[in-house]
């Protein structure tokens, strides 16, 4: 619900459990008033302290700069006295970088806007506030947008820019959200990492100055995620306040918290300004700012995560696979790498079909003369040496076995050793006279160019029309370098979105899984086009506990591509029980990445049961509420210096009639008793039936959440158990 209190010019945005308030103050400045636990509609403008010094400019103009440097601006600009980090900035042809936005008007309406070029939330049951601000001297209009969806403690923020003046304006900074909070008692929860070690959770107290996460790589990156949360020191998984910030964008980003001289916190998220510029010519030229999603939770970090999961599952993913059960796949990459032929692929497919696997995915190496990663990107024609007759003999064989077929592409890339590059070297991003930097022996195509996109699409479409392709793995294995202009960084992302939009429009039934060297583009922007994203190239079950925990802080588990792979694991060399590998992979999309023909008879015998178990819980993973019962990043054993010795999580159905609990004993210890785990998310009065250790039990939800269940010592590292709960 959005209300406007005209007497004090205050806007109040209410969600089921939170209130966000802002107000128009002296001379038309727009200031942030409050964000926190829900309050009844009322005048809260006293919180702005406008009666204290420095006074508002109309009453004490000699101290205007003091007012500008401490007022809690809703969308702060630079150049007029606010020396904190700005959310918005421009440059005029004479080099001036001064902007002064003032309130003009507002409107409140049911529904929301739809961007023509950017991924965005969608759906019914929402209400939007649009506040029009203007720099009259520049003739620049900035419309701030706020949308709330019914039943969700989230606010979607963005902005729309339009030049109505007589001069060109270059936008140098256009963040999606900025919030000035009259508080300093926060810790910052964020995610860092690297290739094969993405989304490692870190929580540190705020200090004076700026604490930032960002990407300058042309993608959201392995190193940081476009998400952070401000939490109270006492906040836990299930209690205390958490303020989440997430960006629906897949390129360079900035996420920052600044603790100021007055112990106030300015939290911001949006496009990274360092390599950004956008020319707004006259004649009504406009620019869409990506959406940011702000979430408030008084039910801890878990409550924040569950809000993000629901919002992104229900109002961002738009594929037919949004709620549809996805097939259990097998990917040949770790089974064969580039070394395969038709017979080898048929052998894997035959064994997979016998075991009940439903989708065969042919990964890298099927096109051009791709015997290694040194060549052929951009030449999307089947390699007849490996696949005589092209894809059809293979797809005929696979579909004849009752399986679907999927294919790997890397549409954004081009190899120096490729027919496409030899014909069109200008297609690759670069600067004339400077050598291009290779990474994985490849360059990046200039996706901002429509002719480049047309050339790539023509090849992809020919392949998609030649065979019954049900799934695409869209990969991107390097970052951008030698980008010739600050405009191109954003134009590149828009070009990728345009090509993906063409794919999902012309082939709406295809299931798309996004990938970027594993998890380098694991961001909400990609969910708009692909309902699942490969979580990481590290498929080791122990490492995946951390990677998937971090991902689930803001992304729905149904989006996390997760597979069972061979041991010793190709990334870590670790051996993990086959059943645990499956249990951990069931946190996400579930599939296999190995040569089933080379598994032991014991392992093969487990696969049909694993698939059956997955189908029994897959709806819970897609639509249920996640409760994290363990933290693989924190000590939880008998001694404080120990690493976490267990991890656990639950998925609970929306009606709380069914749940599944997975427990992983990370480290075994001598003389270790059973561990008591208290569950979450159940209905206290209901009786739940479950099986544990060969015994059948019936316990009330209250008992399970207060007294818990006893998990025995499982005798071995990375041993696990999965328990189903069904209510009467």
pLDDT in tens, 130-165: 999 999 999 999 999 999 999 999 999 999 999 999
Residue 669 has pLDDT above 90, yes or no: no
How many Cα atoms occupy the beta-carbon half-sphere of 456 within 13 Å?
29
- The pLDDT assigned to 668 comes to 86
| 536: nearest Cα among 509, 563, 572, 511 | 563
Residue indicated by tokens 């496009």: 271
Task: Please check whether residue 320 lies inside any domain of the structure.
Answer: no
Q: CA 197 to CA 518: how far, in whole Å?
A: 10
173 shares its domain with 252: yes
Q: Can you give the pLDDT at residue 640?
A: 37
Q: Are residues 711 and 607 in the same domain?
A: no
* Alpha-carbon gap, residue 28 to 136, rounded angstroms: 12
Q: Is 718 helix (H, G, I), strand (E, B) or coil?
A: coil
The alpha carbon of residue 168 and the mean position of all alpha carbons in its chain are separated, in whole angstroms, by 35
pLDDT score recorded for residue 641 = 40
SS (H, E, C) 56-67: CCCCCHHHHHHH
Question: What span, in angstroms and rounded, lies between the C-alpha atoms of 648 and 632?
Answer: 9
Number of domains in the chain: 3
What average pLDDT does this structure show over 54-81?
A: 90
Handedness of CA 502, 503, 509, 513 (dihedral sign): negative
Q: Which of 31-45, 282-296, 318-332, 665-679 has the lowest mean pLDDT?
A: 665-679
Residues 293 and 355 in one domain: no
Q: Are residues 279 and 371 in the same domain?
A: no
CA distance 226 to 271: 10
**Does residue 324 belong to any structural domain of this protein?**
no
227 and 161 in one domain?
A: yes
Confidence band, pLDDT 50/70/90 cuts, at residue 63: confident
CATH number of the domain that residue 642 is part of = 2.60.40.1180
- Asked whether residue 549 is domain-assigned, the answer is yes
Which residue numbers are catalytic? 475, 537
How would residue 65 be classed by pLDDT, with cut points 50, 70 and 90?
confident
Residues 6 or more apart from 301 whose CB is under 8 A from it? Answer: 189, 229, 231, 235, 236, 237, 242, 553
Q: Residue 306 is part of a domain; what is its CATH number?
A: 2.70.98.60
Closest CA to 413 of 517, 261, 304: 517
Q: Residue 220's domain spans which residues?
A: 2-315
> CA-to-CA distance for 609 and 661, rounded, in angstroms?
17
Q: What is the mean pLDDT of residues 27-34?
A: 97
The DSSP code sequence of 333-389 is HHHHTT---HHHHHHHHHHHHHHT--EEEE-SSSBTT-SSTTS-TT--SB-TTTSTT
Q: How confident is the model at residue 670 (pLDDT cuts 50, 70, 90)?
A: confident
User: Which residue's structure tokens are 């601000």?
Assistant: 133
What gap in Å lies between CA 24 and CA 6, rounded to an integer? 10
Calculate mean pLDDT across residues 328-356. Answer: 97
618 and 639 share a domain? no
Calculate mean pLDDT across residues 523-545: 97
Rounded Cα distance, 46 and 681, in Å: 39
C-beta separation of 530 from 474 below 8 A: yes
Q: How far apart are the C-alpha atoms of 580 and 664, rounded to whole Å?
A: 7
Model pTM? Answer: 0.97
Together in a domain, 631 and 612:
no
Q: What is the pLDDT of residues 171-223, one digit of tens each?
A: 999 999 999 999 999 999 999 999 999 999 999 999 999 999 999 999 999 99
Is 586 among the domain residues? yes
Handedness of CA 25, 81, 145, 229 (dihedral sign): negative
Radius of gyration of the chain (CA): 27
Q: Are residues 572 and 705 in the same domain?
A: no
Express each pLDDT in 400-434 by its tens digit.
999 999 999 999 999 999 999 999 999 999 999 99
pLDDT grade for 456, boundaries at 50, 70 and 90: very high
Q: What percent of the chain has pLDDT over 90?
A: 93
Q: Is residue 95 part of a domain?
A: yes
What digits encode the pLDDT tens for the residues 506-522? 999 999 999 999 999 99
Is residue 323 one of the residues assigned to a domain? no
Give a yes or no: residue 491 inside a domain. Answer: yes
> Could you say which of 560, 593, 624 is where a domain stops?
624
Phi, psi (rounded to 5 degrees) for 458: -60, -40
Last-in-domain residue among 263, 286, 315: 315
Residue 439 shares a structural domain with residue 585: yes
Residue linked to tokens 């998937």: 548
Per-residue pLDDT band for 585 (boundaries 50, 70, 90) equals: very high
CATH of the domain at 580: 3.20.20.70
Distance CA 111, CA 527 (A): 21
* End residue of a domain, out of 257, 290, 315: 315
- Does residue 598 share a domain with residue 721? no
Residues 428 and 489 in one domain: yes
Give the residue-averaged pLDDT of 461-473. Answer: 98
**Residue 287 in this model has a pLDDT that exceeds 80:** yes
Phi, psi of 231 (to 5 degrees): -130, 155
Q: Does 133 map to a domain?
A: yes
447-453 long-range contacts (CB < 8 A, ≥24 apart) are 447/412, 447/492, 447/495, 447/496, 447/498, 447/499, 448/488, 448/491, 448/492, 448/494, 448/495, 449/495, 450/495, 452/427, 452/495, 453/495, 453/498, 453/499, 453/502
pLDDT of residue 671: 80
Cβ contacts of residue 129 below 8 Å, gap of 6+? 2, 11, 13, 106, 107, 108, 145, 146, 147
Question: SS in 3 state form for 378-409?
Answer: CCCCECCCCCCCCCHHHHHHHHHCCCEEEEEE
Position 637 scores a pLDDT of 39
716 versus 682: which is more confidently predicted? 682
pLDDT tens per residue, range 98-114: 999 999 999 999 999 99
When pLDDT is cut at 50, 70 and 90, the band that residue 644 belongs to is low
Residue 382 sits in the same domain as residue 413: yes
């Amino acid at each position: 619900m959005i209300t406007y209190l005209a007497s004090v010019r205050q806007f109040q945005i209410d969600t089921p459990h939170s209130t966000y308030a802002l107000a128009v103050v002296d001379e038309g400045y727009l200031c942030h008033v409050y964000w926190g636990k829900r309050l009844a509609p009322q005048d809260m403008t006293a919180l702005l302290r406008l009666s204290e010094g420095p006074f508002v400019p109309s009453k004490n103009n000699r101290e205007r700069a003091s007012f500008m440097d401490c007022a809690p601006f809703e969308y702060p600009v630079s150049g007029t006295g606010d020396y904190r980090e700005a959310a918005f900035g421009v440059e005029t042809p004479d080099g001036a970088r001064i902007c002064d936005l003032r309130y003009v008007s507002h409107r409140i309406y049911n529904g929301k806007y739809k961007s023509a070029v950017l991924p965005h939330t969608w759906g019914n049951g929402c209400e939007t506030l649009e506040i029009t601000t203007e720099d009259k001297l520049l003739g620049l209009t900035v419309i701030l947008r706020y949308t709330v969806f019914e039943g969700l403690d989230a606010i979607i923020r963005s902005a729309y820019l339009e030049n109505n003046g007589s001069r060109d304006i270059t936008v140098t900074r256009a963040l999606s959200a900025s919030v000035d909070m009259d508080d300093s008692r926060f810790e910052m929860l964020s995610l860092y990492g690297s290739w094969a070690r993405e989304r490692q959770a870190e929580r540190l107290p705020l200090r004076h100055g700026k604490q930032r996460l960002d990407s300058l790589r042309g993608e959201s990156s392995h190193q940081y995620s476009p998400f952070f949360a401000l939490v109270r020191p006492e906040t836990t998984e299930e209690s205390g306040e958490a303020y989440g910030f997430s960006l629906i964008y897949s390129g360079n980003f900035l996420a920052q918290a600044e603790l100021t001289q007055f112990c106030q916190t300015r939290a911001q998220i949006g496009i990274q300004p360092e390599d950004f510029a956008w020319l707004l010519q006259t004649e009504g030229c406009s620019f869409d700012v990506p959406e940011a999603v702000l979430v408030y939770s008084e039910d801890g970090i878990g409550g924040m995560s569950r809000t993000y999961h629901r919002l992104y599952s229900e109002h961002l993913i738009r594929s037919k696979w949004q709620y549809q059960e996805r097939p259990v796949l097998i990917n040949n990459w770790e089974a064969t790498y580039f070394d395969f032929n038709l017979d080898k692929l048929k052998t894997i497919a035959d064994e997979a079909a016998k075991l009940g696997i439903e989708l065969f995915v042919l990964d890298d190496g099927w096109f051009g003369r791709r015997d290694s990663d040194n060549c052929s990107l951009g030449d999307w024609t089947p390699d007849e040496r490996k696949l005589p007759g092209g894809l059809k003999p293979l797809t005929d064989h696979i579909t004849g076995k009752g399986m679907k077929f999927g294919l790997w592409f890397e549409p954004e890339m081009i190899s120096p050793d490729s027919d496409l590059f030899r014909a069109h070297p200008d297609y690759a991003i670069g600067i004339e006279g400077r050598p291009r930097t290779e990474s994985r022996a490849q360059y990046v195509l200039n996706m901002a160019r429509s002719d480049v996109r047309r050339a790539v699409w023509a090849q992809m479409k020919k392949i998609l029309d030649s065979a019954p392709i049900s799934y695409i793995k869209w990969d991107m294995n390097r970052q951008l370098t030698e980008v010739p202009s600050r405009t191109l960084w954003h134009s590149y992302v828009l070009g990728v979105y345009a090509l993906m939009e063409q794919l999902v429009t012309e082939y709406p039934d295809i299931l798309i899984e996004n990938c970027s060297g594993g998890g380098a583009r694991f961001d909400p922007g990609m969910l708009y086009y692909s309902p699942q994203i490969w979580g990481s190239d590290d498929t080791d079950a122990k490492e995946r506990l951390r990677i998937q925990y971090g991902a689930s802080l803001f992304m729905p588990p149904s989006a996390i591509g997760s597979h069972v792979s061979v041991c010793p694991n190709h990334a870590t060399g670790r051996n993990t029980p086959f059943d645990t590998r499956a249990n951990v992979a069931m946190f996400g999309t579930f599939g296999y990445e190995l040569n089933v023909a080379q598994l032991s008879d014991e392992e093969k015998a487990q696969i049909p049961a694993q698939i059956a178990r997955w189908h029994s819980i897959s709806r819970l993973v897609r639509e249920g509420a996640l409760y994290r019962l363990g933290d693989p990043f924190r000590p939880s054993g008998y001694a404080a210096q120990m690493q976490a010795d267990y991890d656990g999580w639950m998925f609970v159905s929306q009606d709380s009639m069914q749940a599944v609990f997975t427990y992983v004993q990370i480290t075994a210890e001598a003389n270790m008793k059973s561990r008591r785990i208290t569950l979450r998310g159940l209905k206290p009065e209901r009786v739940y039936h479950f099986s544990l250790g060969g015994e059948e039990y019936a316990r009330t939800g209250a008992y399970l959440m207060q007294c818990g269940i006893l998990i025995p010592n499982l005798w071995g590292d990375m041993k696990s158990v999965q328990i189903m709960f069904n209510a009467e």
